[in-house]
Amino acid sequence: MLASTFSGLGALLLAGLAAAQTPESACRSSNGSQPFDGMYREAARPQIHFSPSSGFMNDPNGMFIANGTHHLYYQYNPNSTVAGNQHWGHATSPDGYEWTNQEIALAPEREGQGIFSGSAVIDVNNTSGFFDGTVAAETRIVAIYTLNTPTEQTQDIAYSRDGGYTFTKYEGNPVISINSTQFRDPKVFWDAQAQLWVMAVAHTQSWEIGFYTSPDLKTWEERSRFSSGLRGYQYECPDLIEVPVQGGPHDGQRAKVLVVSINPGAPLGGSVTQYFIGDLNSGSDGFEDFTFRTNDTAVRFTSFGKDEYAAQSFYNSGDEGAIYQAWLGNWQYAQAVPTANATSGWRSEQSLPRRLRLEWVQQNPQTWAYVLAQEPLSFGSLAGTDLAPSNVSGNTTVALNGTGAFDVRALFSLPANATVEPRANLRIRTQGEGFLDIGADWAGDGATVFVDRRKAGTEWADTNHFFTDRMSASLMPVPRVANDSSSDSLIEVRVVIDRIVSEAYYNNGTSVAAVLTFWDNDEVPSFVDVTTSSSQLKLESLSVVPIASGWKC
Amino acid sequence: MLASTFSGLGALLLAGLAAAQTPESACRSSNGSQPFDGMYREAARPQIHFSPSSGFMNDPNGMFIANGTHHLYYQYNPNSTVAGNQHWGHATSPDGYEWTNQEIALAPEREGQGIFSGSAVIDVNNTSGFFDGTVAAETRIVAIYTLNTPTEQTQDIAYSRDGGYTFTKYEGNPVISINSTQFRDPKVFWDAQAQLWVMAVAHTQSWEIGFYTSPDLKTWEERSRFSSGLRGYQYECPDLIEVPVQGGPHDGQRAKVLVVSINPGAPLGGSVTQYFIGDLNSGSDGFEDFTFRTNDTAVRFTSFGKDEYAAQSFYNSGDEGAIYQAWLGNWQYAQAVPTANATSGWRSEQSLPRRLRLEWVQQNPQTWAYVLAQEPLSFGSLAGTDLAPSNVSGNTTVALNGTGAFDVRALFSLPANATVEPRANLRIRTQGEGFLDIGADWAGDGATVFVDRRKAGTEWADTNHFFTDRMSASLMPVPRVANDSSSDSLIEVRVVIDRIVSEAYYNNGTSVAAVLTFWDNDEVPSFVDVTTSSSQLKLESLSVVPIASGWKC
């Protein structure tokens, strides 16, 4: 197991990090119970990914953006480093990276209750009647969540008149009860055309996503159920997300993507998220019928990594397109990972906030298709000065000098007449033995992108039967000149490195994988080695931008 | 890399194995060119799985059973340990385990041609006109294969008047040409109701399975195309297989399963096989329309391991139900594995022949579904005397005394009122450091079954970015008394251990995973440790049956 005290080289590095920024004891802890003492400086703590100060976190919940503030709620057990006693924790951020822990937003009333996953909306028009003229439109927040008890899962609501900081549970709860213990994770959005609220909710063990509508968030009518694709044990955490379309026959339009989480039963084991492209309102008579129909019968996954689940979009993400975050966890080992041994005792983190779009992407020489592309929001003023040498060619090592995270982007090109099938690799390594390889292998007219954490810390990994080491996916390199197969083929490998979290984004986020790496001896990533296996494969550009920690203390 | 000369403990073991049975130089080699010299006694050679004496093998092709003989053809490069220069190799067996290499059945005519994958039928009624009264009905064999050239892939046929040993290519080839380079892997079966031959064939890069019909195997009519599910880069190797149904609403009936291989693009990386349950002949007017329709929109995989691809059923498998075999390879590393360094220079093996059925299996507390269950054919007289102690309780180690393979079956039971979530594990280990863990974790009202090869040889595995270490799947334990949740829950873990191949079958083959393990230092599996993590989990029964080598020399 990871040592709970700092030792060796890791301790030296950590001391350096801790000295660099002074903890501010005034900062709020996730459970509101104790002063915050700089625990976000621990070696394993991600610096721009949200993690709770202590306790156990899972699904993101109730996310919305109002008045420029990102509100993240999350499944939270404040008293333990494993799941149970579920609350909604709460944190806010101006940019998705600089987080402030807030008081717990929703707590169970009694032993045996749990406030399970759900969503939140801004009821600007006061459809619910919970608000009056004293509450500004953008602070009229209604949370829709599952109340879990031993005998039933019901959909309940709570309202906040202060913009999401404190909530009052609706006295008329539950708003939906179907006498089922397997009915949860409501995600609600506003259908402007129908002038109705729409809820996607999981009938978990029949692998169905139910759709309900409501005029007021209180009274709900069941409209349809949808089932398709990979099944596993159960479905959870649906979200129907409107995204902009880039390229292809629907360029410039908007499309709907239904995201469904599955656990257990992922092909990689445990937890996974699949998505379907389609529409909710495409009845043959042209009227809205609130039945989800897919554009095709394809099954796709949001990520080829093993550590993403329960993705949810922010309500009111803005005109540029939806933003979502996922829990960076897999139920096969999320309650066993060694971060619980840190001084502060915590487990799990959320992904970076990612802007979504559907992009028209070549799948093989013959066929193109739409895929869900994801890219992290701008790091804004947190981004520092590029650490990479200005002229790169061939193999390059860059020291990761900084105490926050690092945004590494490497663009590789291979001539069309190349005589090799080369590898491009980014090796992220500590000052010890640990390394993580993230790269791409050109092969024939395609490529395979990969993440290999086999050596990125072995002490804990050796003890767990489910912490799969290697993940990969098929990806077509992009010709430098569109539709010109005689031009160079390009692959960009981007990795955001944040201590125990690495998020890989290939070719503008058209392929994504987030992986956790539990480095031995409290080590932290210290170098990135960028290599090509052949001189025919050129490293065209490289940037290694340090991102300052989003934690103030 | 694996040493190409035998050394250390492995060499001692190998010497013992080699001494145990005398090579017979009269045995035929896979490429027909040199006398056979006992190379099937090499440490890494599977003893009841087919492997070529030398050269590179991939997809099984043209399989049929006639007069009690299993005919296996296979994609074969006789001159190299990587793919290319594709031939159809050929081997025969009375039982699927005792193989005799035969002369190469189909070879390309000229540089640049390849005899790609396909199937074979027994044209008992001489629909093709290739036969006459001098050829017994059961020896009228027609092979349907893809001729690959740089400019096109066509479907061609060849006929054998001697029961499949020698073939004559049809002078009217190709029988289907659509001016495509991405059109291959024809699998043909007889539709007794329609009195027509039906072909399933892959339009690989549009992710479509085409269906054609023919009265005579020479003239073909396109009927439909089917597309669904996971896509990846391309589809290959379809097979529409009729299987018996066991349990559930269709108990005792027959059903059709469409098997589709995908490469690359598997969720685990590289190659995978998905299947769909449905029917080809269910037009709304009741007539046969040769359009494949699924019973549901679910996507399922034939195996949760990473080393199975291109499964194909035997034509004329018999009344007990279809039998199929798969190539035990993944294109991500099949051409790199260390068996090429054996004295004989070979790569790849086929799976055990498995009897198929659809079984009605509980998926979670609420829902049941049909799944493709697979179990190896009886080992018959190759099976020896059980090596396990007659009374087992608690943890047990059994030495794998024998020179062939081993069929290990362990049944575990957990009381309904258990207070633990225990693990059952079979650790297959060598006399060195290597071990493979195959087991099951009870969790809540379900379970996860797993295969962990992280320590089953690390020397080569450390060098390859795609040789994923850990695989798992969701599986419901079976109550001892049907539908009685107060009775013990049972999981049977069965593993057929055959040197570098282990095939895991859970609960009568309702979940399956085949994995390759490249042991260090030419070691072979020598022990199996059967353990339970809690005394509440009982080992109810254990058998460890040695299976004699199927190779005569």
DSSP code per residue over B234-271: -EEEEEEEEEEEESGGGTT-EEEEEEEEE-S--TTSS-
Distance CA A336, CA A544 (A): 32
B543 contacts chain A (CB < 8 A): no
B151 contacts chain A (CB < 8 A): no
Per the residue annotation, which of B59, B185, B437, B522 is the catalytic one? B59
CA distance A373 to chain B (A): 16
Residue type, A220: W
Q: Is B26 left (phi over 0), alpha (psi -120 to 50) or beta?
A: alpha
Q: Searching chain A, which residue's CA lies closest to the CA of residue B446?
A: A233
Distance CA A179, CA A203 (A): 12
Distance CA B465, CA A438 (A): 10
CA distance B441 to chain A (A): 10
Tokens at residue A422, please?
């080369």
Disruptive mutation site among A182, A454, A455, A459 for chain B (greatest number of B CBs within 10 Å):
A454
Give B88's pLDDT tier (boundaries 50, 70, 90). very high
A470 contacts chain B (CB < 8 A): yes
- Alpha helices, H only, A139-202: none
Residue in the block written with tokens 């089953």: B456
Contact map slice: A 320-339 vs B, CB within 8 A: 332
Output Rg (C-alpha) for chain B, integer angstroms. Answer: 23
pLDDT at residue number B18: 35
Computed from CA positions of residues B81, B82, B87, B88, in that sequence, does the dihedral angle turn out positive or negative? positive
Contact map slice: A 336-355 vs B, CB within 8 A: none
For residue A364, the chain B residues in CB contact (below 8 A) are 205, 233-234
Disruptive mutation site among A179, A233, A467 for chain B (greatest number of B CBs within 10 Å):
A233
**C-beta separation of B138 from B67 below 8 A:** yes
Contact map slice: A 284-313 vs B, CB within 8 A: 296-301, 304
pLDDT at residue number B136: 97
Distance CA A226, CA A200 (A): 10
Taking CB atoms and an 8 Å limit, are B446 and A233 in contact across chains? yes
Taking CB atoms and an 8 Å limit, are B299 and A229 in contact across chains? yes
Taking CB atoms and an 8 Å limit, are B469 and A465 in contact across chains? no
For residue A446, the chain B residues in CB contact (below 8 A) are 233, 264
Backbone angles phi, psi at B339, to 5 degrees: -65, -20
What ipTM was predicted for this assembly? 0.93
Taking CB atoms and an 8 Å limit, are B229 and A266 in contact across chains? no
Tokens at residue B292, please?
């494949």
Contact map slice: B 159-198 vs A, CB within 8 A: 182
Q: How many CB pairs under 8 A join A and B?
A: 151
Disruptive mutation site among B153, B261, B448, B451 for chain A (greatest number of A CBs within 10 Å):
B448
pLDDT over 80 (residue B26): no
Longest dimension (CA), chain A: 71
Helix (H) or strand (E) holding A539: strand A538-547
pLDDT at residue number B333: 98
- Is B306 exposed, middle or buried (CB count within 10 Å of its CB: 0-12, 13-18, 19+)? buried
Distance CA B242, CA B321 (A): 8
pLDDT at residue number B11: 35
A365 contacts chain B (CB < 8 A): yes
Taking CB atoms and an 8 Å limit, are A205 and B365 in contact across chains? yes
Partner residue opposite B467 with nearest CB, options A367, A470, A473: A470
**C-beta separation of A58 from A312 below 8 A:** no
For residue B227, the chain A residues in CB contact (below 8 A) are 296-297
For residue A367, the chain B residues in CB contact (below 8 A) are 205-207
pLDDT at residue number A35: 55
pLDDT at residue number B451: 98
CA distance B179 to chain A (A): 14
What are the distances in angstroms from CA A517 to CA A5, A45, A241, A453, A472?
Answer: 18, 12, 30, 7, 16
- pLDDT tens-digit series, residues B114-164: 999 999 999 999 999 999 999 999 999 999 999 999 999 999 999 999 999
CATH placement of domain B380-547? 2.60.120.560
Distance from CA of residue A337 to its chain's centroid? 18
Taking CB atoms and an 8 Å limit, are B297 and A296 in contact across chains? no
SS3 state of residue A341 = helix
CATH 2.60.120.560 fits A383-547, yes or no: yes
- Is B337 exposed, middle or buried (CB count within 10 Å of its CB: 0-12, 13-18, 19+)? buried
Taking CB atoms and an 8 Å limit, are B297 and A469 in contact across chains? no
Per the residue annotation, which of A59, A123, A407, A488 is the catalytic one? A59
- pLDDT tens-digit series, residues B391-412: 887 799 999 999 999 999 999 9
Query: Tens digit of pLDDT per residue, chain A (553 long)?
Result: 223 333 333 333 333 333 333 334 446 788 766 556 678 999 999 999 999 999 999 999 999 999 999 999 999 999 999 999 999 999 999 999 999 999 999 999 999 999 999 999 999 999 999 999 999 999 999 999 999 999 999 999 999 999 999 999 999 999 999 999 999 999 999 999 889 999 999 999 999 999 999 999 999 999 999 999 999 999 999 999 999 999 999 999 999 999 999 999 999 999 999 999 999 875 555 567 899 999 888 999 999 999 999 999 999 998 899 999 999 999 999 999 999 999 889 999 999 999 999 999 999 999 999 999 999 999 999 999 999 998 887 799 999 999 999 999 999 999 999 999 999 999 999 999 999 999 999 999 999 999 999 999 999 999 999 999 999 999 999 999 998 889 999 999 999 999 999 999 999 999 999 999 999 999 999 999 999 999 999 999 999 999 999 998 7
- pLDDT tens-digit series, residues A390-410: 888 779 999 999 999 999 999
CA dihedral in degrees (B395, B400, B404, B409; nearest 10)? -10
Tokens at residue B307, please?
């080393």
**C-beta separation of A458 from A467 below 8 A:** no
**C-beta separation of A301 from A51 below 8 A:** no
Pick the closest to residue A238 from A298, A291, A308, A309 (CA basis): A309
Residue type, B114: G
Whether A185 is catalytic: no
Disruptive mutation site among A180, A330, A366 for chain B (greatest number of B CBs within 10 Å):
A366
Taking CB atoms and an 8 Å limit, are A369 and B206 in contact across chains? no
Q: What letter would DSSP give residue A12? A: H
Q: Searching chain B, which residue's CA lies closest to the CA of residue A461?
A: B454
CA distance B467 to chain A (A): 7
For residue A205, the chain B residues in CB contact (below 8 A) are 363-367
Taking CB atoms and an 8 Å limit, are B265 and A234 in contact across chains? no
Q: Searching chain A, which residue's CA lies closest to the CA of residue B447?
A: A264
Partner residue opposite A332 with nearest CB, options B182, B227, B472: B472
Which of A542-551, B277-286, B420-429 is the least confident region? B277-286
Report domain extents, chain B.
380-547
The set of residues, in sequence order, having a beta carbon less than 8 Å from that of A6 and lying 6+ positions away, is: A14, A15, A43, A522
A368 contacts chain B (CB < 8 A): no
B457 contacts chain A (CB < 8 A): no
Distance CA A159, CA A147 (A): 15
Taking CB atoms and an 8 Å limit, are A468 and B466 in contact across chains? no
Taking CB atoms and an 8 Å limit, are B465 and A439 in contact across chains? yes
For residue B470, the chain A residues in CB contact (below 8 A) are 269, 465-469
Taking CB atoms and an 8 Å limit, are A466 and B450 in contact across chains? yes
Disruptive mutation site among A372, A427, A465 for chain B (greatest number of B CBs within 10 Å):
A465
List the beta bridge partners of residue A497.
A406, A502
Instruction: State the average pLDDT over residues B95-99.
Output: 96
Distance CA B485, CA A304 (A): 36
CA distance A403 to chain B (A): 30
Taking CB atoms and an 8 Å limit, are B448 and A332 in contact across chains? yes
Give B294's pLDDT tier (boundaries 50, 70, 90). very high
Cα three-residue angle A41-A44-A49, rounded to 5 degrees: 80
For residue A366, the chain B residues in CB contact (below 8 A) are 182, 205-206
Longest dimension (CA), chain B: 71
B219 contacts chain A (CB < 8 A): no
Computed from CA positions of residues A417, A418, A419, A420, in that sequence, does the dihedral angle turn out positive or negative? negative
CA distance B449 to chain A (A): 9
Partner residue opposite B297 with nearest CB, options A227, A234, A268: A227
